[in-house]
Amino acid sequence: MTDETSKPTDFIREAVAEDLRAGRFNTIRTRLPPEPNGYLHIGHAKAFLIDYLVARDYGGVLDLRFDDTNPAKEETEFVEAIQEDARWLGIEWEKVIYSSDFFELLYEWAKKLVEKGKAYVDDQSPEEVSRNRGTLTEPGVESPYRDRPVEENLDLLERMKNGEFPDGSRVLRAKIDMAHGNMNMRDPVMYRIIHEPAHHRTGRKWCIYPMYDWAQGQNDAMHGVTHSLCSIEYEDHRPLYEWFLNELEIPNPPRQIEFSRLNLNYTVMSKRYLRRLVEEGHVSGWDDPRMPTLRALRRRGYTPEAILDFIDRVGIAKSPTTSDIALLEACVRDDLNRRAERRMAVLKPLKLIIDNYPDGLVEELEAVNNPEDEAAGTRGLPFAKELFIEADDFAETPPPKYYRLYPGNEVRLRYAYFVTCTSVDKDADGNITAVHCAYDPATRGGDAPDGRKVKSTIHWVSAAHAVQSEVRLYDRLFTEESPDKDSFIEYLNPDSLQVLTGCMLEPSLAEARPGDKFQFERTGYFCVDSESAPGKPVFNRTVALRDTWAKIQQKSHASR
RNA sequence: UGGGGCGUGGUGUAACGGCAACACACCGGCCUUUGGAGCCGUGGUUCUUGGUUCGAAUCCAGGCGCCCCAGCCA
C-alpha cells in the first residue's frame, strides 16, 4: 500500500497513515518483541505479520528485538528458533537487537527518574508489596520507604546493581499513585534483583533486571520505534508506557497501539498449555504436526502463503474473538489446490483384478499433474491386470447414493478404463480379499466412444509397481471447541493421529523429498515428513479434501 | 461497590449519518475424468431501551453481556 491514494484497511493503518500525514513521524519503524523463551505459534505469526506488513506498507522498517529482561526464563536456543520461524514466514527485519543492548542507558534513565523524585527504592518484601498494592476495588497503601531522600535512593540503587543485596530484598519502583484505578499505575516495579542464573548475553554483569513496563517503551524510544504494536492485554499498560516517556521528556515518543490477539478453536495457544502437551507426552514434540506452532505447521505441510492469507482474512480488530480453524484449513487447501501436483495414492488398499486384461501386459497411461496449472505437465502411470483401489471405493451392498464400485456397477479408473465389478473373493471369515472386474478396452484414457457415462471415477495404483509407505493422518488435537481451560487434557482428540502402514503409492512418489507437497487425488494434501527416508517414505496429511460424500453419510446416519 | 476494552448472519471482518458488504462454515442447485476445484443461490429486527435526525450499525444517554488487570512474568 505504498500507493498514497489507497485507503487504510484497518484501524492501525489508519492511525499510522494519520501520524504520517500530520507529521508526527516522518518514517515508520516497528518492532517484533518476542521473549526468547519458547517456540513461535500461529498467534505470534499474526502479531509478527502486523508489525512487518504495517511498516512495509508505509515505507518503513521492522526491527527484531528480543525481550531478554528475565534471565530466569530465557535461552539462546530460542533466539535462533524464532528467527528461523519468522524468516520462513517471509518476514524481513533491518536489525536484530536485544533489550539487554540498552541496559546501560536504561539504567541512566532510571537514575534520572530517581533524581526527579519519580522513583524510589522499596525495602518491602515481595509479600508486603503485593499486600499493600490493594485490590481491584480498594486502594493500595503507600510504602514506608516511598519518601526516601534522593541521595539514599541513588546509593541503594547503585548497590542493588552491584549485587550487594539478595534477591527479593529491594526493588526500584516508580512513584505514581497507590490509589489509581489502574493497578499498573500503583507504583509499578521497575527493577528487581536477580543473581541467578547468568544472563544469556550479559552474563553476570547485571544483578538487577528491568521489568517489562520499564524496558519496553524506553527501548522503543532508544532505537527509534514509532509504533509499538502489541496485543490487547497491554491496553491498560499504555498509561504507564506514556507516563515513563513523558517523565523522561522523550521528544517524539513512540506510540503504542493494541489489537486483539489470535485465538483459534479446537486448539490451545498458551505457552503453558503447549509446554504441558510436550512435557506430558501427549504430542511428540514442539514440531508434532498437530501443534499450532509454526514449526509444527511447517512439518504438517502448511505453506507460509497459506498462513499469510489466513492472517489477512482474519483481519485486525480489538474485539476478543476466536477464529475458526476451518478458515485456516480452507486457506491451505486454496493455496495447495493451485500449487500441489496430483498423485494417486491408495491409503487403505483393496486388490482389484481385471479378469479380461492380458496377463503380463503393462501399459503407460498419461496423467495430468495439476488441472489448475497446465504448465505442471503430465506424467506416465503404469497400468496392469492387478491393481489396488481404496477399500472405501468398494461396497458389496452399496448404501443410498453410493456411486462407486459395487457388484454390477461400472466406474472409471482415473486416466485408465471403465471397469465393471463382476465378483468378490472372500477369506474364511467372510472378509473381502479382492474384487474382480471386467474392463472395456474401448474406454482407454477414460472416455467411452459410445458416449456412455459413469457416475464415479476412482483412483488406483498398479500392484506390481506400487511404492509402500507410511501415512500419518492428522486431525484436530481437541474434540472440544474451546479447550482453553486447565482441564484441557480431557478434551484431547483420541483420533488426532492415525498411522497407516502399507499404503500404496504410485511409483513417481518414490523420489519425493522431505517437505514436498502433493494432492493425493480424492483424499487430501500430503507432505513428505522430516522423518521420511529413501525406501521408507512417510507422508503427513496436511488437510483432507472437502468431502461431500462424508457429509451425505453423516446425514443419512443422523436421520436413521 | 475499581480501571480498561469489546458487542454486526454459525465464525471472522467491512460499511466512517444515506440500499448492511466480503470470506469461511452451513444448506440447496449447476458443472465435473478428483463426491476435489469452479459457478449460482438461501440465510440478519447490526446486544438492548430510549433520544437526536428527513434518514442511525454509525451520534447521545441508560441498561445488559463478554474479555483483560491485584507477578519482583512478558
Q: What is the pLDDT of residue A92?
A: 98
Task: Indicate the SS3 state at residue A380.
Answer: strand
| Cell numbers representing residue A236 in the block | 491498560
Q: Which residues pair with A423 in a beta bridge?
A: A436
pLDDT confidence bin for A3, thresholds 50/70/90: very low
Mean per-residue pLDDT over chain A, rounded: 96
Residues 478-507 of A with CB under 7 A from strand B: none
Nucleotides of B under 7 A from a protein CB: 1-8, 10-14, 16, 23-28, 33-38, 66-74
A130 closest-nt by C1' vs CA: B70
Q: Which of residues 166-225 of A touch strand B (CB under 7 A)?
A: 167-171, 181-184, 188-189, 192-193, 209-213
Looking at residues A33-51, what average pLDDT do you find?
96
- The residues of A that are catalytic are 35, 261, 271
The pLDDT score that the predictor gives to residue A258 is: 97
How much of chain A, in percent, has pLDDT values that exceed 90?
96
CA at A320, C1' at B68: how many angstroms apart?
A: 10
Question: Which of the four pLDDT bands, split at 50, 70 and 90, describes residue A560?
Answer: low
- The answer to whether the C-beta of A41 is closer than 7 A to strand B is no
Task: Check whether A152 has a pLDDT greater than 80.
Answer: yes
A168 versus A3: the higher-pLDDT residue is A168
How many angstroms separate the CA of A232 from the C1' of B1? 26
- For residue A489, give the DSSP letter: G
Is residue A284's beta carbon less than 7 angstroms from any atom in nucleic acid strand B?
Answer: no
The b-or-e profile of A321-339 (16+ CB within 10 A means b, else e) is: eebebeebbbbbbebbeeb
The pLDDT value recorded for residue A5 is 47
CB A499 within 8 A of CB A347: no
Domains detected in chain A: 4-259 (3.40.50.620), 271-341+469-558 (2.40.240.10), 345-459 (2.40.240.10)
Instruction: Please check whether strand B approaches the CB of A147 to within 7 Å.
Output: no
Adjacent-strand bridge partners of A229 = A257
Residue A533: CB partners within 8 Å, gap ≥ 6?
none
Which of A's residues 53-92 have CB atoms within 7 A of nucleic strand B?
Answer: 67, 69-70, 72-73
Which A residues between 505 and 534 have a beta carbon under 7 A from any strand B atom?
519, 521-522
What average pLDDT does range A132-157 have in this prediction? 97
d(CA A332, CA A526) in angstroms, rounded, equals: 11
Tell me the sheet residues that pair with A412.
Answer: A418, A457
For A212-227, write each residue's pLDDT tens digit. Answer: 999 999 999 999 999 9
pLDDT surpassing 50 at residue A399: yes
| pTM (predicted TM-score) | 0.96
Does the pLDDT at position A430 exceed 90? Answer: yes
Instruction: Specify the pLDDT at position A485.
Output: 86
User: Given pLDDT bands bounded at 50, 70 and 90, which one contains residue A558?
Assistant: confident
All three cell numbers of A14, joined, read 489508519
With a cut of 90, say whether residue A182 has pLDDT above it.
yes
3 state SS of A495:
coil
Query: Above pLDDT 70, what percent of chain A?
Result: 99
Residue A377 has pLDDT above 60, yes or no: yes
Q: Cα angle at A463 between A462 and A464, to 5 degrees?
A: 95
The whole-number pLDDT of residue A554 equals: 87
